[in-house]
Structures are given as C-alpha cells and as structure tokens.
C-alpha cells in the first residue's frame, strides 16, 4: 500500500522531481474535506426538504443551528424563529448575514425560499469549514451591497458544483431560487 515510484527527473538544476503513480482522488486531507462538504450538505438538504414539506419555515438556518451527534448524525436545531407558513406574524430577530434580502427589503414574510437563501449561506460555512459569511462586508452595508448584486466569491476549497448551488440559492428573486426538492 505504498505509492509507486515511476521515476525521477534531475534535469532541473537544484531540484529533484519524483514521478509517482497517479492517484485520482489526491491526498486524504482534501478528499475528506470534499466528502465532508458533500455529505453534510446532502444531509442538511434532506432535513430542509422535510421542513418544507411540513409547512414550516426555519427562519434562522445557519451552521450554528446544525448539530452533529454520534455517527455524524446531523440535526437542525433552534426553531425559535420557525413559523407555520399559514399562521405567522411578522418575522422576528434574524442575523442579517444569514437572512434572505426579500423580507429585509420589502417587509414580506419569511418563506421556504428565504430558507433556501440561508441554505446557500450554510453551504458557504461548510465549504470554508466554519468561516463567517461576507467576511469583508460590515452588517450595516450588507443590504445595500446585496441589492447592488454583491455575492460572496467562491471559497478556495469549494467544489465548483457546490458553488453553483450556492449562487442559485442567492438569486435576488425568490422564485428564481431552487426548491429544497431540487
């Protein structure tokens, strides 16, 4: 189980290059990071689909509200802001960096599509291993920046497909965001 040495190159001055067999999944660290990102994102999406089918909107979906138990069992917590979508009042206190812009801008109610926006933020947190969203944007400026079209850049280790899902989740118009079943 040792990596096979195919050859070496000494033609470059002061450098020795080893030529080894090709390993399609690369090193274990990056492989695990990619697996973890995709596994947690899939599990979280499954929970959100359940929430959407049961007519409830979480309203505060964030990595801090996703708990990991034994055998990596993931559970969504902190339903303090969760509301029945057929009998709710105004939205309560929500942290701006996780909140969809539609309720913040026009005072509309928080919907399942608002949770989809927040899911995109959670994907960002997963891909940055817990990084804060919008790290270079003060909260006071966030609404204006989002309205102007600013979105977070692709995190360094984020798979392109995952970033594509994130940007779809961050569509300005709620009806252009994917549903949790997609």
The tens digit of pLDDT for each residue in 117-164 reads 998 999 899 888 888 999 989 888 988 899 899 999 999 888 888 899
Please give the pLDDT value at position 101: 86
Q: Is the pTM of this model over 0.75?
A: no
What the block records as the tokens of 142 is 């966030």
Q: What is the pLDDT of residue 106?
A: 64
Q: Write out pLDDT tens, residues 70-127.
A: 776 677 777 655 554 444 444 444 477 888 888 766 666 778 888 899 989 998 998 8
Nearest 10 degrees: Cα torsion 156, 162, 168, 172:
-40
How far is 44 from 180, CA to CA, in rounded Å?
Answer: 10
Catalytic, out of 14, 27, 49, 60? 60
**Residue (of 125, 123, 128, 103) closest to 113 by Cα position:** 103
Confidence of residue 47 (pLDDT cuts 50, 70, 90): low
Which domains does the chain carry? 26-176 (1.10.510.10)
Residue 34 has pLDDT above 50, yes or no: yes
| Catalytic-residue membership of 84 | no
pLDDT at 65: 81
Residues 109-129: b if buried by 16+ CB within 10 A, e if exposed: ebbbbbbbbbbbbbbbbbbbe
């Amino acid at each position: 189980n040792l990596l096979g040495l195919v050859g070496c190159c000494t033609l470059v001055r002061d450098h020795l290059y080893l030529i080894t067999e090709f390993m399609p999944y690369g090193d274990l660290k990056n492989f695990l990071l990619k697996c973890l990102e995709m596994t947690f994102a899939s599990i979280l999406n499954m929970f959100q689909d359940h929430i959407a089918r049961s007519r409830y909107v979480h309203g505060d979906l964030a990595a801090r509200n996703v708990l990991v138990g034994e055998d990596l069992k993931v559970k969504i917590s902190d339903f303090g802001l969760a509301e029945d979508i057929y009998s709710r009042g105004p939205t309560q206190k929500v942290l701006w960096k996780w909140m969809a812009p539609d309720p913040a801008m026009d005072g509309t109610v928080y919907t399942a599509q608002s949770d989809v926006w927040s899911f995109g933020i959670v994907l960002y947190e997963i891909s940055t291993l817990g990084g804060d969203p919008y790290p270079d944007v003060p909260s006071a400026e966030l609404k204006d920046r989002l309205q102007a079209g600013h979105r977070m850049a692709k995190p360094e280790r984020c798979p392109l497909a995952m970033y594509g899902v994130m940007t779809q989740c961050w569509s300005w118009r709620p009806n252009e965001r994917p549903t949790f079943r997609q």
